[in-house]
A and B are shown apart, each in its own frame.
Chain A
């Protein structure tokens, strides 16, 4: 447990935590969020590293009055992941054009250790958007308002998306139980 609490926006006069302290505290959160988003532990590691590199570059511009370090880091992580998704989509389109007609082998992504096979399988069937809202609201226990701000949607939309995602996951898990 660290001495600083990183969830409450600080006043400007309060002593700002060091980047090292923030990184140590929030590394698991950022990694977990990116792992849920990408469902690939190796990619999540890369994107987490990239996220912290970006965060370190921008650390001087971070204004504690405008939000918590956690929300700030998660926003950078999301932006980094979306950039990767865009680049990946472009790369896939190029490859599809180049190898038209040839079946493409999808790389097998894994969540890594700590997940039961059923849970991993259930999560895999969700969309990135659904996994993202589960990660933020359930795993990282971010409140609805912060989640809505991060995802740039309304709180109602967050609740709806979470409800739908949990429903799908629950259904999948129930099917596995029956099987």
Chain B
């Protein structure tokens, strides 16, 4: 028998249910109750559900993040402005150099800084003008240095202000130590000038008038004490030199003693020269004040603009999304082992059932 014949015979001998069974099934089917009116079924297969659920969850996460961002962005705008102004102040406050010379505590420099609190210039007291102006003490030798930062409107104004500052310095009898002027979209200038201490207040007042004062700082270090030390030592050295010189001239000395005294005299004279140079340098330092002037445009200050509501909304939404992601990740990390175990159990059970079914069908 060939395969087509066999198939033909198999199909020809297709079994038919016995009449008793047919009657039994008919009787059974007759008991079928009329199904209640069913609402349209919205059941979806798992894969389709996943296809819909994943984008839906992502959209929900983004929408909720957007809603959170929108609600939180409507915060205290004044507080934000204060925060921005604070950032600006931090950006413009000068770093103070701490004087760490070999002086007594009382000789540590007096540092006074004044930074406007984001208010108008007129309301800001300046250090070099007015009733409480701070200046060098004429009766003592001091190292006077000031740092000024003024803000001007644009790059052209920076050039003008720098030129005015240089002219002023020369007019007051001072000189320029260094000058750096950068022009462009955000211009800036940095000048270091030295002016006679007697005219430093005048200089500061005029330099402050070059623009809006952003910050100013005055440092006064007392040099008198060190000067006094130097002078005392110089007097002592001079006295020693006089005594040794007198001995060498008046006393009969042996050759060895004379050599020692002459050597000592030589050393003292050398020290005296050094002391004179020190006294001279200290006096020169005390005669001239150092002023560091910065001229900037608003952009250079690193002013932090108050963020717009859109920016704040986006920031908050992004934060919310990050947190949602963190939570989702945490849940996934916690649930993953359980899901894996469940999946493995399901696979194992399915595999076992199939093997069992195959065995049963092979044995029957």
- A interface secondary structure, majority: helix
Classify chain A: how many residues form its interface, as a range: 35 or more
Q: Which residues of A contact B334 (CB under 8 A)?
A: none
Q: Across the interface, which residues of A come within 8 angstroms of B21, CB to CB?
A: 27, 31, 45, 48-49
Given A20-B30, A49-B21, A138-B7, A173 and B360 contact (CB-CB distance below 8 Å): no
Q: Which one of B10-18, B211-219, B248-256 contacts A?
A: B10-18
Output the least CB separation between B169 and chain A (Å).
92
B17: chain A residues within 8 A (beta carbon): 27-28, 30-31, 45, 48
Q: Of all chain A residues, which has the CB nearest B32? A: A19
Give the chain A neighbours of B16 by CB distance below 8 A: 28, 31-32, 114
The one of B10, B18, B29, B43 that contacts A52, using a Cβ cutoff of 8 Å? B29
Residue of B whose beta carbon sits closest to that of A22: B29
Decide: A63 near B43, CB < 8 A? Known: A24-B26, A127-B362: yes
Cβ–Cβ contact B6 & A166, under 8 A? yes
Interface residues of B: mostly helix, strand, loop or mixed?
helix
> With a CB–CB cut-off of 8 A, which chain B residues contact A19?
29, 32
Choose, from A2-10, A81-89, A100-108, the stretch at the interface. Answer: A81-89
**Is B51 part of the contact surface with A, judged by Cβ < 8 Å?**
no
Say yes or no for A74: interface residue by CB 8 A criterion.
Answer: no
A125 at the interface (CB under 8 A from B): no
In the complex, which of the residues B10, B18, B22 has the most CB atoms of chain A within 10 Å of its own CB atom? B10
How far does the Cβ of A1 sit from chain B's closest Cβ, in whole Å?
15
The smallest C-beta distance from A67 to any residue of chain B, in angstroms, reads: 12
Q: Say yes or no: A85 contacts B28, CB within 8 Å.
A: no
Closest residue of A by beta carbon distance from B360: A85
CA gap between A44 and B149 in the complex, in Å: 103
- CA distance in complex: A36, B361 (Å): 12
A128 to B364, CA, bound (A): 5
Q: Does any Cβ of B come within 8 Å of A94's Cβ? A: no
Say how far A73's CB is from chain B's closest CB, in angstroms. Answer: 11
Task: Please tell me if B167 contacts chain A, counting CB pairs below 8 Å.
Answer: no
Of the candidates B10, B29, B45, B362, the one whose C-beta lies within 8 Å of that of A20 is B29
Q: How far is the CA of A116 from the CA of B10 in the complex (A)?
A: 10
The B-contacting residues of A in range 101-143, CB under 8 angstroms, are 111-112, 114-116, 119, 127-129, 132, 134, 138-139, 141
Task: State A35–B362 Cα separation when bound (angstroms).
Answer: 16
CA separation between A94 and B222, bound complex, in Å? 112
Residue of A nearest to B8 (CB): A138
> Is A38 located at the chain interface by the 8 A CB criterion?
yes
| 8 A Cβ contacts from A44-69 to B | 44-45, 48-49, 52-53, 56, 59-60, 63, 66
A56 touching B362 in the complex, CB below 8 Å, given contacts A63-B41, A138-B11? no
Residue in contact with A35 in the complex, picked from B15, B43, B360, B364, CB distance below 8 Å: B15
B13, B32, B41, B358: the one contacting A18 at CB < 8 Å is B32
Are B14 and A139 in contact (CB-based, < 8 A)? yes
**Cβ–Cβ contact A12 & B18, under 8 A:** no
A99 proximity list for chain B (CB < 8 A): none
A116-B29 in contact given A128-B361, A138-B7 (Cβ < 8 Å) = no
Please name all residues of chain A whose beta carbon is closer than 8 Å to the beta carbon of B31 when the two chains form the complex: 56
Q: Is the CB of A170 closer than 8 A to any CB of chain B?
A: yes
Residue B263 is within 8 A (CB to CB) of chain A in the complex: no
The answer to whether B26 touches A23 (Cβ under 8 A) is yes
Provide the residues of chain A in CB contact with B6, threshold 8 Å.
166, 169-170, 173
CB contacts (< 8 Å) of B7 on chain A: these are: 138, 166
* Contact yes or no, A56 B29, CB < 8 A: yes
- By a CB distance below 8 angstroms, the chain B residues around A38 are 364
Using Cβ atoms and an 8 Å threshold, which residues of chain B touch A45?
17-18, 20-21
Say which residue of B14, B26, B41, B360 sits within 8 Å of A32 (CB atoms). B14
CA distance A105 to B20 in the complex (A): 29
CB of B25 closer than 8 Å to a CB of A: yes
Q: Does B156 contact A (CB under 8 A)?
A: no
Complex contact A139–B364 (CB within 8 A) = no
Partner of B362, one of A41, A129, A141: A129
The answer to whether A48 and B1 have CB atoms under 8 Å apart is no
Give the top 4 A-B pairs by smallest Cβ distance, nearest first: A129-B361, A128-B364, A20-B29, A31-B17
Q: A52-B25, A170-B2 given. 16 additional CB < 8 A pairs?
A: A18-B29, A23-B25, A31-B15, A31-B16, A32-B15, A36-B15, A37-B364, A38-B364, A48-B25, A52-B29, A85-B364, A114-B15, A115-B13, A116-B9, A128-B362, A138-B11
A-B contact pairs, 20 of them (CB 8 A): A20-B30, A24-B26, A31-B21, A32-B15, A45-B17, A45-B20, A48-B17, A48-B25, A63-B43, A66-B45, A85-B361, A85-B364, A115-B13, A119-B9, A128-B361, A128-B362, A129-B362, A138-B10, A173-B6, A174-B1
